[in-house]
Amino acid sequence: MQSRQIPMKNKIIYIVAVCLITLLLWLSNEGSSPLVYTGAGLQHSVGLIDSADSLVVRDSVAMNGIAAKTPEYVMNKGTYTVQLDYIADEEGSVLELWEQERKVAAWTIDSSQTRLVVDFTLSKDAKQLQLQVNYSGKGALTIKSLSFSPDKFFYTDTYFFIVVFLLCSFFVWKYFIEGGRQLNQEQLVDYSIILGVALLATTPLMQTYLYNGDDLCYHLARMEGLKDGILDGQIPVNIQPEGLQGNGYLNAMYPYLFLYIGAFLRICRVSIGLSYKVLIFLANLASAVCAYTAVKSMCRSRRSVILAVVLYTLMPYRFTNIFSRGDLGETLALIFWPLVIAGLYHIIMGERKKWYYLVIGFGGIFQSHILSATFVAAICIITALVWCRRIVREKRYIEIGKAAGMTLLLNMWYLVPFLYYYFGERLNTDILRWSGYFEQSINPSNLTQSLSLYNKQYFSLGLALLGCAGIGVIQIVCERDREKNDRDGYLLYLFVMGCILTYMITGYFPSKALLANELFESIATMLQFPWRFLGPASTCFVFVGAIWLSESQILKSYRNIIFALLIGLNLLVIISVPTDNSHMPYANAEAAASKGHETKFATNIGLFYPHEWRLDGTSDDKLTSSVVTSDPNNVSVRQYQKKGTKAEVTYTAEKESYLELPIQGYLGYRAYDEEGNKLEIGQGIGGRMRFMLEGDGLEHTISVRYGPHLMFIISNLVSALTIACIVWQMYRRRRSGQEVSAQAI
């Protein structure tokens, strides 16, 4: 590290620049700007649009009901104001407020007035908030405009940007200016490339809207449900208390560790759109960092390391997951694949003390995507079998045991609830096996393309990674006489693995014939899509191409050209991501509801809760938000209230009967009467909790709450103690290292 004194003039300029940028960020805040719709801008299926962009509905349409409505919003709790400008010939039309298919408020549209202004308060965050104009069917109704504004602000996105900017500015001041310290040139270049590539990979999301990928609605629901679970007091969160119209939804079946970042931002009132984008940026940054760390641990060539960072972070399959499939789970899992590859190398033949690479890699993937974790487990087993003699001879099974044990202990907190619910709960897991597998195979010609997100079933290695595979072919075929080392053998193994996985993706792999085999059919339908192998295959080719490019004697004179060519080809991935036809965020100068402002509430996506983790027999048409009784004439429900995973109902029953609470009866819930006696929870229609009632005509109370199993608590403690021991060991080593350095001085 070098040090030098920063002139006072430069410090003053820096402070002024920081203040100016902070002011500009604050002035750009649109979090309190109203959502404004003309009549033509509302969703409608009847009526005519006049010259003033108003929606005119006449009784000639011969209908009554919903004439116009807004999109559905994921909205923070708070107080809001709605203003409707209209002309109504007759009475009877109503402005209604709906949340998760339940009407929560309604206001009469007075024909003697032309403007309706009302306030309402959300006591908790809304998942599907929508305003609807219910037409009476009589006379003409002209909807001129509808505006929706907050009492304070819709979201805190601008304040989040200001806080992040000030923290980064403080870091720069403390580390570079006040201390006068600088990174050396090599570190500065490397870190700038990592940050630059991460930002470049995120640029498509810097547009004013979210790409509506296939599974994005589910992952937004997971992030929102995780936030609700934290506010409910669950750590870890096993139940999303507000999911499925407030009935609750199981959260423990899909890894969610890294979604805590987005959930924390949502708790801080950051919009759900920005929270997701921040999570994707961090995934891009972490992917670049892991690729850098992994390849650098195996290769001394900086060219190879930088090439690996660019190729891996911008590889087509990552972009397909982010923008086309909306698969946040695999996107997060791909962060750690380089560490898995490097960790296996070090355990088998590299630096034995770096066995923790595999722990971080395997653990990170396990906490991101279960199916990707099964891929890692299979590859670890195959790799151990290939080098079993070396493992035994050099006693490297010790490192394997350390890695396996540490991975198990660190992830015990999630593994135990997952297995408990998977094998013990009444879940409809058969729905996971809907894919025919073979029908999802990829045409080999597509593997040569860059990327196209217009076709949802488009998957590719890309030209750059095929170039890496070509480098591997040159190394194997044309440089057989070159002196080989252990790393070359491992890279050959990765090359073969990448080729096999790529072959299994294509239609040439006989998966259709193999589906007749019961074992293969069980595995294939569980994997659903063969293109999932693109992730590990791409990772293998990145390592092969990046490292062997620096080792090849035949390509020695062309290394710089090939380096530039591969990076240039990979940049086509960014160029090919489709953009909106409009380059301006606002449709017109008067519209306060920009496309970016509106879609921060996920209006073009919505939230979705898959059927596989619901209880058997649960479908949307069977969901309700009210208490259901078997005999309404003899059972009176005095009061029902629910907050998070806690609920209480008071009733009287004249004879024996039952009632069902609008709560999914997952394992872990407990129920008690007014005297503290434990009650049995039965299964009602649509997965609801059913309770048998005492028919004595007296008032009784049933209290319900979610409390984790004792095994969950023990597993949490095991993982927490493991982390504490690791931190303690790191602290001791660092302290002992400092003492040794002090003694040497």
> Residue 297 domain-assigned?
no
Q: Are 659 and 637 in contact (CB under 8 A)?
A: yes
- Is the Cβ–Cβ distance between 95 and 67 less than 8 Å? no
User: Taking all residues of the chain, what is their mean pLDDT, rounded to a whole number?
Assistant: 88
pLDDT over 50 at 67, yes or no: yes
Residue 279 near residue 250, CB atoms below 8 Å:
no
- 63 falls within a domain: yes
Q: In this structure, is residue 376 part of a structural domain?
A: yes
- Classify residue 69: in a domain, yes or no: yes
Residue tagged 């003899």 (tokens): 634
Alpha-carbon span 299 to 495, nearest angstrom: 17
- Domain membership of residue 216 (yes or no) is no
Contact (Cβ atoms closer than 8 angstroms) between residue 289 and residue 272: no
Which domain CATH number covers 649? 2.60.40
Give the residue from 126, 150, 174 where a domain finishes: 150
Q: Would you place residue 87 in the very low, low, confident or very high pLDDT band (cuts 50, 70, 90)?
A: very high
Shortest CA distance to 614 belongs to which of 625, 604, 606, 622?
622
Q: Are residues 715 and 702 in the same domain?
A: no
Contact 207, 388 (CB under 8 A): no
120 shares a domain with 39: yes
Whether residue 724 sits in one domain with residue 672? no
Residue 205 CA to residue 322 CA, distance in Å, equals 10
Q: Output the pLDDT for position 119.
A: 95
Whether residue 145 sits in one domain with residue 3? no
The answer to whether residues 39 and 145 belong to one domain is: yes
Amino acid at 151: D
CA angle centred on 22, ends 19 and 24, rounded to 5° = 110
Angle, CA of 517, 523 and 526, to the nearest 5°: 130
pLDDT category, 580, cuts 50, 70, 90?
low
Tens of pLDDT, residues 198-219:
999 998 888 777 778 888 999 9
Look at the pTM and tell me if it is higher than 0.85. yes
The more confident residue out of 6 and 388 is 388
Q: What is the pLDDT of residue 448?
A: 77
Predicted pLDDT at 741: 56
Q: Is 450 domain-assigned?
A: no
DSSP 557-616: GGHHHHHHHHHHHHHHHHHHS---S--SS-SSTT-SS-HHHHHTTTTTT-----STTSBT
Position of tokens 């008690």? 672
Host H or E run for residue 81 = strand 78-88
**Cβ 594 vs Cβ 267: under 8 Å:** no
| Domain around 15 | 1-31+162-182
Distance between CA 372 and CA 361 in Å, rounded?
A: 11
Q: Which of 301-305, 347-351, 439-443 has the lowest mean pLDDT?
A: 439-443
Tell me, yes or no, whether 199 lies in a domain.
Answer: no
Please give the tally of structural domains in the chain: 4
pLDDT digits (tens, 9 = 90+) for 620-665: 888 888 899 988 888 999 899 999 999 999 999 988 899 999 999 9
Check whether residue 647 and residue 733 sit in a common domain.
Answer: no
* 581 pLDDT tier (thresholds 50, 70, 90): very low
- Quickly tell me which residue has 């072959």 as its tokens: 503
What are the tens digits of pLDDT across the range 359-373? Answer: 999 999 999 999 999
1 and 68 both lie in a single domain: no
- How many C-beta atoms surround the C-beta of residue 561 within 10 A? 10
pLDDT digits (tens, 9 = 90+) for 249-269: 999 999 999 999 999 999 999
Span 479-498, average pLDDT: 89
Regarding whether 687 and 723 lie in a shared domain, the answer is no
CA dist 292 and 300 (Å) reads 11
Looking at the structure, tell me whether residues 403 and 349 fall in a common domain: yes
How far is residue 102's CA from residue 61's CA, in Å, rounded to a whole number?
A: 26
Does residue 78 share a domain with residue 58?
A: yes
* pLDDT score, position 1: 43
Residues 90 and 108 in one domain: yes
Amino acid occupying residue 548: W
- Residue 449: which pLDDT band, with cuts at 50, 70 and 90? confident
Which CATH number characterizes residue 129's domain?
2.60.120.260
Instruction: Categorize the per-residue pLDDT at 451 as very low, low, confident or very high, splitting at 50, 70 and 90.
Output: low
- Could you tell me if 41 and 139 lie in one domain? yes
